[in-house]
Amino acid sequence: MIENPIKRRPTRKIKVGSVYVGGDAPISIQSMTNTETCDVDATVAQIQRCVDVGADIMRVSVPSMEAAEAFGEIRKRVQVPLVADIHFDYKIALRVADLGADCLRINPGNIGSEAKIREVVAAAKHNDISMRIGVNAGSLEKDIQKKYGEPTGQALLESAMRHIDILDRLNFHEFKVSVKASNVFLTMDAYRLLSAQIDNPLHLGVTEAGVYRTGSVKSAIALGGLLMEGIGDTMRISLAAEPEEEIKIGFDILKSLGLRSNGINFIACPSCSRQEFNVIKVMQTLEERLEDVRVPMDVSVIGCKVNGPGEAKEADIGVVGASPRSLVYRNGEKSHLIDTNQLVDEIEAMVRQRVSDIEDAKAKEIIRTSFSE
Ligand code: SF4
């Protein structure tokens, strides 16, 4: 087994509700609702769909006082930590802080007078909630735009540091920072510069990354590159797609880097004329059917014996395609043969059995430790 070479940059640990961000906390995945916040039922349903696929944190935009009251209702109906996204109106920040927001996404430099900033910071301290400073290449301050001529890593850094300095001056340190751009190189440059300046946790993202496929690739390159350098404590994949898809892509990136496990890590061959079954169809069906599985496991499904045994030996469950029966490996050992026409059902049954065995073992361990105390 190759040792994971990624060494995470040490950052201070902050809290977003029940989820820690930074330090040795797992890199969290978040997304943002795209429903009308005032439509409480729709927003709660969307948050729940994201939680079902593993969302650690959800962000909800709060553009008005009416939305702030709706935010309070949403807060009562979901367990997942909620970030309230506020842009300028400090009164909205004060209201959602009282209504149970776990984090305020607001830039102190945009709030206005020092007195207003102090009030927001006091509310965050009083309610024990964190903040996120979010700088975007598309909305840099006019004087910074003029100074740099175009968005650059230094420009994003300078903008972020203005907001950071305000919070530092007010002795408030429970915040994370993002410096997002839609360009891969600019995003990476800005985060690298920022990570060298501060020890607050960094919220990674490529903003306006694009539609599902290209946006996912762009995000995987930029965020994957930063994560490999140890940069990043929480992340959002910004796609023109439903938020639950963002969560899934986020986990796929972390799974690929061995930074988090969530559900099945499928290993499948691309297939070719040697395939003994329709690999693409089988994998698509399996992925859909097993989307609810949260227990981490490696499942290898390979079209023929050319690469099948090698991959199967490294997986928790491995299948080597053959006709009419395929060979199953469990925990790296040859186990039994299954009907190749029934591959999907057979693999699903094995995965669900493994989940049940792992959960039984966990329950037994809990009983054993409770009674031995
Ligand atoms: S494992 Fe077999 S079926 Fe899959 S790509 Fe390789 S040769 Fe083709």
Q: Is 272 in the pocket of ligand 1 (CB under 6 A)?
A: yes
Which protein residue has the closest C-alpha to ligand 1 atom 5?
A: 271
Helix (H) or strand (E) holding 21: strand 19-21
In the β-sheet with 297-302, what is the strand arrangement from edge to edge?
Answer: 264-268, 297-302, 317-320, 325-330, 333-339
Contact 218, 208 (CB under 8 A): no
108-136 b/e (C-beta count within 10 Å ≥ 16 → b): bbbbeeeebbbbbbebbeebebbbbbbbb
* pLDDT reading at 343 higher than 70: yes
* Nearest atom (ligand 1) to Cα of 275: 3
Q: Is 326 in the pocket of ligand 1 (CB under 6 A)?
A: no
Structure confidence at residue 93 (pLDDT) = 97
* Alpha-carbon span 10 to 195, nearest angstrom: 10
Based on the number of CB atoms within 10 Å of its own CB, is 255 exposed (0-12), middle (13-18) or buried (19 or more)?
A: middle
* Mutation choice for ligand 1 from 278, 280, 307, CB with most ligand atoms inside 8 A: 307
How many angstroms is it from 1 CA to the middle of ligand 1? 23
- The model's pTM is 0.89
Helix extents (H) in the chain: 40-52, 65-77, 90-98, 114-126, 142-148, 153-169, 184-197, 212-228, 243-256, 279-289, 308-314, 343-372
* pLDDT reading at 2 higher than 90: no
Average pLDDT over residues 40-51: 98
User: In whole angstroms, what separates CA 359 from the centre of its chain?
Assistant: 24
Average pLDDT over residues 135-163: 95
CA dihedral 253, 257, 262, 268 (to 10 degrees): 80
Q: What are phi and psi of 154, to 5 degrees?
A: -65, -40
List pLDDT tens digits, range 202-242: 999 999 888 999 999 999 999 999 999 999 999 999 999 99
How many angstroms is it from 297 CA to the middle of ligand 1? 22
* Alpha-carbon span 11 to 24, nearest angstrom: 8
Give the start-to-end residue ranges of the domains of the chain: 14-257, 264-371
The mean pLDDT value of the chain amounts to: 95
Structure confidence at residue 1 (pLDDT) = 66
Which protein residue has the closest C-alpha to ligand 1 atom 8?
A: 272
* Nearest atom (ligand 1) to Cα of 273: 8
Average pLDDT over residues 272-301: 94
283-310 b/e (C-beta count within 10 Å ≥ 16 → b): bebbeeebeebebebbbbbbbbbeebee
- Structure-block tokens of residue 249: 């892509």
Domain 264-371 fold is Sulfite Reductase Hemoprotein; domain 1 (3.30.413)
User: In whole angstroms, what separates CA 158 from the centre of its chain?
Assistant: 26
Structure confidence at residue 366 (pLDDT) = 87
Structure confidence at residue 373 (pLDDT) = 60
Average pLDDT over residues 176-181: 97
CATH assignment of 14-257, given 3.20.20.20, 3.30.1200.10, 1.20.1440.230, 3.30.2310.20?
3.20.20.20
* Mutation choice for ligand 1 from 306, 319, 327, CB with most ligand atoms inside 8 A: 306
Task: Give the residue ranges of the annotated binding site.
Answer: 269, 272, 304, 311
* Alpha-carbon span 66 to 63, nearest angstrom: 8
Give the least confident one: 171-175, 357-361, 367-371: 367-371
* pLDDT reading at 105 higher than 80: yes
Percent of the chain having pLDDT more than 70? 99
* Nearest atom (ligand 1) to Cα of 276: 3
Confidence band, pLDDT 50/70/90 cuts, at residue 88: confident
